[in-house]
Chain A
Amino acid sequence: MPATPTPYRRLTRDSAGVGTYSSLWLAADHLMIVRSTGYHESYSRVQLSDVKAIFLTKSARRIWWGVAWGVIAAPAGIVLGIGLTGREPPIFSTIFFLIGVAGLIWNHLLGAGCRAYVLTGVQTAELTSLVRINKARKVIAQLQPLLAQAQADLTLPRAVPTSGSAPETEGLTVVRSPAAAAPPSESTTPAAGAPDATPPPVG
């Protein structure tokens, strides 16, 4: 029986965690975070139209992997160095040293570690498979036009001028230019997850 076609496109390869691995997939209108143990998969969907922002924070992933590869390479390198003075170079130490050095180089080329979080109106979900800043930026660059398209029908708050006062913006704090002869408006900044200001009703 042929494989079942799926509407999902893979954005990231599997990223290993503790006992599980996660990946990020893209459908026409939503992102899917897949967490798998190899025998069971769980799915978390994030609608593209609900994505308010993405946070990227630094992590120490590259450092820890550097330490791990260094732990492999350093003792093997020491043994190799000692063995080179002898008649026959130690084979296993050479192999482990080369593996360790290759791992260190690969870890460095992957870039700095990061954690990515997607902010919606009701939650902040971690994109657990985005663990390197270079990959995260590539994925975000892929998503940006899709997010703009998915959110094109949303209404941006409009400044409504009232007589003798500055335009008011709901949900925004706007720094005014010196040319604007108006006092700063009172800004209402709703917390993430709180309902937005009342939009024009749909007729």
Chain B
Amino acid sequence: MIRSKKYLIFTLLLPILVLLAIIIEKKYILATGQEVILPISGYDPRDILSGHYLIYTVDYNVAGICEQSKTIQSGYICLNPKFFSFTSPSACKLRIKGVCQYGRFQAGIEKYYIPEDKAIELDKQIKEKKASILISVTPTGQAQVKKLLVE
């Protein structure tokens, strides 16, 4: 048992401060990043903790993504000009940082939370390839989903 009041206050504040820090980081990416629209295709499972969400595949329109990657390896997709690299590309004006996992590129933007009543309709539209995502990308390559755009 934590007997000291000082430690009790510290351990009570810890989760609040950590969660605040996570929010500030997310808000920073959304506020300062460059906006990019990318087409997607996908399907809809359910997340126990956060409700309905869509998982989709992002169409970067870049060749050779994660080709010959090891089990897990960092990777960068450069959108201007378009190419893929396992190391941080210096000659790239807009890059997205991610991880190659078993040949798939994951940048943390492959999931979007949706209202339960709109889940089926949105899932259908995405399967018919009518959707894209608006993301915010920082100069270091961190990307955050801003909006789901549907025709």
Asked if A pairs with B, the answer is no
